[in-house]
Amino acid sequence: MVSGGDAHPIEQESYRIMRARVDFSRWPAGAREVVERMVHATADESFSETALVGDGFVAAAMSALKSDAAVVCDSRMVVAGVPLVASRIPVECYLDRVPTAASGTTRAAEAVQLAAAEHPDRAVWVVGNAPTALHRLVELYDAGVVSPAAVIGMPVGYVGASEAKAKLWESPLRAISVTNTGRRGGSAVAAAALNALARLAWY
Amino acid sequence: MVSGGDAHPIEQESYRIMRARVDFSRWPAGAREVVERMVHATADESFSETALVGDGFVAAAMSALKSDAAVVCDSRMVVAGVPLVASRIPVECYLDRVPTAASGTTRAAEAVQLAAAEHPDRAVWVVGNAPTALHRLVELYDAGVVSPAAVIGMPVGYVGASEAKAKLWESPLRAISVTNTGRRGGSAVAAAALNALARLAWY
């Protein structure tokens, strides 16, 4: 269980309060643990309404983590938010390898391109910041360049975030993805989804 | 200006959309840039309603940054979210120096205690995660152990976050603090406040 008997007392109390306020019963087991942790980490209860979890997402992501797949993140903040995952398997962010972006693109999109060349398959992809990173990931999947094991697609912001998440949800990647509708997202909620999966896979 | 002519076109467009949706006119200059960036970074417009900015906060924080004060953060995610600040002045997180917490306390609170011993004055303190870290910081201030230059106090969650932020706002630290009411907060919004100050101070 995500908040089992070994959790810190503050975490147990937090889950108790949260579950008294938010009804997670529509989610099947597995997806429920993921969405609960997304809300727990952010205290943003809107995620319980906006979250979208692909039918095969939890199984695919757990399988990848159990087989020591790499995790590719779009931002350093996501990496910083998953220390337990990073203590077991490679958790990488390629942003620092792209000092500047060419005209018409972004560093985040170029970093995805670079990461896809090194991780064409089996990686778990986590986008917690840049809409352009998620957009590029789906483009590369459509082009046959990359085949993710699972996708956590939760970019944030006023420009392109809703659209990139809709694009993910309209793609065949949907089955192995978690995302949400709307502008909200971010590194904390993306890291929370990955941390929930890690607990399901390893504990 | 926070989103001046040198900002990325996506950022300029994001600010344009945000300002058409949210009225920031009640905030004085300086505080306005901080609250705008908090909303921009998270797309969580509730921060425009819940934010609390001390009268002397912006001037105190800018002065500290300009005099190369250290920045002490409660979590690695905050550190990861402020690369431009960290490229100019020390940005530290003491959490890794506290492998386990004693009974009745938390690692985050013990890390604050450790950091306060090394930075008894002049540091800018940023709490983006743990309510217990902010609670301890105010206790240490009340005890005369630490005298922050400025405080960004935005912990998140169901247990203790509202209370720790209220405690900060009831303390004399209020004048040199930014915080908010309610459960929401987090590393992204805390980092955004610091990034806004850095732009005001240095650009």
Q: What is the pLDDT of residue B3?
A: 45
Q: How many CB atoms lie within 10 A of CB B143?
A: 9
The residue among A106, A122, A191, A142 whose CA lies nearest residue A114 is A106
Cβ B163 vs Cβ B136: under 8 Å = no
> pLDDT tens-digit profile of B74-122?
999 999 999 999 999 999 999 999 999 988 899 999 999 999 999 999 9
pTM for this prediction = 0.96
Most B CBs within 10 A among A158, A162, A163, hence the mutation to make, goes to A158
Nearest by CB to residue B188, choosing from A79, A183, A188, is: A188
pLDDT tens, chain A, 203 aa long = 444 447 889 999 999 999 999 999 999 999 999 999 999 999 999 999 999 999 999 999 999 999 999 999 999 999 999 999 999 999 999 999 999 998 889 999 999 999 999 999 999 999 999 999 999 999 999 999 999 999 999 999 999 999 999 999 999 999 999 999 999 999 999 999 999 999 999 98
Q: Chain B residue with minimal CA distance to A158?
A: B14
List the catalytic residues of B.
Answer: 40
The mean pLDDT of B139-144, rounded to a whole number, is 98
The mean pLDDT of B26-37, rounded to a whole number, is 98
Q: What is the pLDDT of residue A74?
A: 98
The mean pLDDT of B160-172, rounded to a whole number, is 98
Beta bridge partners of B69: none
CB contact under 8 A, B77 and A77: yes
Instruction: Tell whether B188 is within 8 A of chain A (Cβ).
Output: yes
The residue among B36, B38, B18, B37 whose CA lies nearest residue B27 is B36
pLDDT of residue B35 exceeding 90, the answer is yes
ipTM over 0.90: yes
Burial of A121 (0-12, 13-18, 19+ CB in 10 A): exposed
DSSP one-letter code for A81: T
Write phi, then psi, for A179 (nearest 5 degrees).
Answer: -155, -165
Dihedral in degrees, nearest 10, Cα atoms A199, B184, B180, B61: 40
Radius of gyration of chain B (CA): 16
Interface A–B counts its CB contacts (< 8 A) at: 92
Q: What is the pLDDT of residue B88?
A: 97
Q: What is the pLDDT of residue B2?
A: 44
pLDDT of residue B5 exceeding 80, the answer is no
Write phi, then psi, for A178 (nearest 5 degrees).
Answer: -120, 140
- Greatest C-alpha distance within chain A: 52
The mean pLDDT of B31-45, rounded to a whole number, is 98
DSSP one-letter code for A91: E
- Give the Cα separation of A121 and A18 in Å (integer): 37
Most A CBs within 10 A among B77, B184, B194, hence the mutation to make, goes to B77
The mean pLDDT of B36-64, rounded to a whole number, is 98
Instruction: Tell whether A150 is within 8 A of chain B (Cβ).
Output: no
Q: What is the pLDDT of residue A1?
A: 41
CB contact under 8 A, A185 and B43: yes
Which of the four pLDDT bands, split at 50, 70 and 90, describes residue B7?
confident
Beta bridge partners of A91: A71
Q: What is the pLDDT of residue B104?
A: 87
CB contact under 8 A, B187 and A187: yes
Q: What is the pLDDT of residue B154?
A: 98
Q: What is the pLDDT of residue A3?
A: 45
Q: What is the pLDDT of residue A4?
A: 45
Nearest by CB to residue B186, choosing from A14, A42, A75, is: A42
Helices A9-21, A31-42: crossing angle, 10 deg rounding: 100
pLDDT, mean over chain B: 96
The residue among B188, B196, B161 whose CA lies nearest residue B43 is B188
Which two tokens mark B176? 């040199």
Q: What is the pLDDT of residue A7?
A: 82
Instruction: Tell whether A146 is within 8 A of chain B (Cβ).
Output: no
Q: How far is A151 from chain B (nearest CA, A)?
A: 21
Tell me which chain B residues have a C-beta less than 8 angstroms from the C-beta of A184. Answer: 42-44
Write phi, then psi, for A85 (nearest 5 degrees).
Answer: -65, -45
Beta bridge partners of B71: B91, B124
Q: Terminal CA-to-CA distance of chain B, rounded, Å?
A: 8
Cβ A79 vs Cβ A124: under 8 Å = no
Cβ A34 vs Cβ A196: under 8 Å = yes
Percent with pLDDT over 70 in chain B: 97
